[in-house]
Amino acid sequence: MENEKSIPAGKGKNAKRKIRNSPVFMFLCFCGLTIIGYLIFYVYPVGRTVFLSFTNKRIGIDEYDIVGFKNYITIFRYEVNFGRAILQSFIYAIGSGAITLVLSLIAALFLNSNVRGVGVFRVILFLPFVIPAFAAAAIFKGLFDPNSGIINTVLYNAFGIRGPGWFKSENTALFTMILMSVWGFGVQMLIFLAALQNVPAELYEAVELDGGGKTSKFIHVTLPSISPMLFLNIILVTINGMKSFNAGFLIGGNTGDPNYSTLLYPVLIYSEAFTNKMRVGYASALALIYFVILLVLTAGQFALSKFYVRKED
């Protein structure tokens, strides 16, 4: 029997110790579960959606065919609700986003001032954000009910004004949804508040020395100083508004009643995928088109940010 060269015991232990101490091994130990979760819950669904968009897949039917760009062609040529849903989602995002930004900035300016009990006000203004969206929408649906809601009741009893149809009229339904969406601005408020607390007091003192008042301080100091956080909030409210589903579905169902006036784009995707049509492939194509629209919109906002966001020196 030939003599075998034995590996020194210490050498094997050193090799294992070297592997355990390597940056790659440490990275996998700390981030491995996150990477696995990202691949399972993000990469795979996106890849699956891209694949299904080129098929005629339906829920409940195992067989399906590759149809190429047929779904996309059908959407752009024959989908009557495509343009309407995009337009109404844009109107909803712009309207709710603008009101949310104004209210959250006003609330942040108030909380940043030296008022008694400011901690209590912070909790009160942030609390609506933690209430589930469906619950909040249900509450507002009761308040804005044209027949039994408290809004129209107060308008009629106090001022003799017969209130509008709100969400039951196609002329005011989308506007009612915008009003319902702006009550939970807690996150935007906290972002503005954090930015306001980091504005150097010396800048306000310099404006006072030049004879400037509160308006000058706000225009020349506050807005430029918080402009990076303003940009962040604009991105957040735009994306949140464009992908909003709860209010549209609760108010108008999957058909956007009355007369498609509350049909938002995410509701259209849901309607195609999970109602009697069950066209998952078609809905996947709708979702990818919307993803591209949001990507272009976000890129445009980054391009416009150079005109109002102050760069830090």
DSSP three-state, residue 167:
helix
Is residue 193 domain-resident?
yes
Alpha-helix residue ranges (DSSP H) falling in the chain: 9-20, 23-38, 44-52, 70-78, 80-112, 118-130, 133-143, 150-159, 173-181, 186-197, 201-209, 214-217, 223-242, 246-252, 265-274, 280-304
The model's pLDDT over 169-201, given as tens digits with 9 standing for 90+, comes to 999 999 999 988 888 788 899 999 999 999 988
Least confidently predicted of 14-18, 33-37, 214-218: 14-18
Is residue 186 in a domain? yes
> Residue 49: pLDDT band by 50, 70, 90 thresholds?
very high
**One-letter amino acid for residue 150 of the chain:** I
The answer to whether residues 143 and 279 belong to one domain is: yes
pLDDT (0 to 100) of residue 127: 79
Q: How far apart (Å, rounded) are the C-alpha atoms in residues 159 and 247?
A: 29
| Residue 14 predicted with pLDDT over 90 | no
In terms of domains, do 236 and 199 share one? yes
Asked if residue 231 and residue 97 are part of one domain, the reply reads yes
Judgement on whether residues 142 and 290 belong to the same structural domain of the protein:
yes
CATH number, domain of 192, equals: 1.10.3720.10
Give the whole-number percent of the chain exceeding pLDDT 90. 56
Is 64 domain-assigned? no
- Return all residues near 162 (Cβ < 8 A) that are at least 6 apart: 152, 155, 156
Would residue 247 count as lying in a domain? yes
Are residues 201 and 128 both part of a single domain?
Answer: yes
> pLDDT-derived band of residue 11, with 50, 70 and 90 as boundaries?
low
30 and 159 co-located in one domain: no
Label residue 229 by pLDDT band (50, 70, 90).
very high
Which residues, listed in sequence order, are joined to residue 279 by a DSSP beta bridge?
Answer: 58
Q: Is residue 24 part of a domain?
A: yes
CA-nearest of 233, 137, 135 to 193 is: 233
Domain containing residue 22: 9-52
- Distance (Å) of CA 222 to CA 14, 205, 207, 219: 59, 12, 11, 6
146 and 24 assigned to the same domain: no
Q: Are 17 and 85 members of one domain?
A: no
Confidence of residue 1 (pLDDT cuts 50, 70, 90): very low
13 and 118 co-located in one domain: no
Is 114 inside a domain boundary? Answer: yes
Within a domain: 3? no
Say what the pLDDT of residue 15 is.
67
Number of domains in the chain: 2
pLDDT of the residue at 131: 79
Cα-to-chain-centroid distance, residue 168:
26
- Taking only the tens place, the pLDDT of each residue in 53-105 is 999 999 988 899 999 999 999 999 999 999 999 999 999 999 999 999 999 99
The distance from CA 253 to its chain's CA centroid, rounded to whole angstroms, is 20
Position 225 in a domain: yes
Q: For all residues of the chain together, what is the average pLDDT?
A: 88
pLDDT at 82: 95
Q: Are 46 and 86 within one domain? A: no
In terms of domains, do 104 and 215 share one?
yes
220 and 294 co-located in one domain? yes
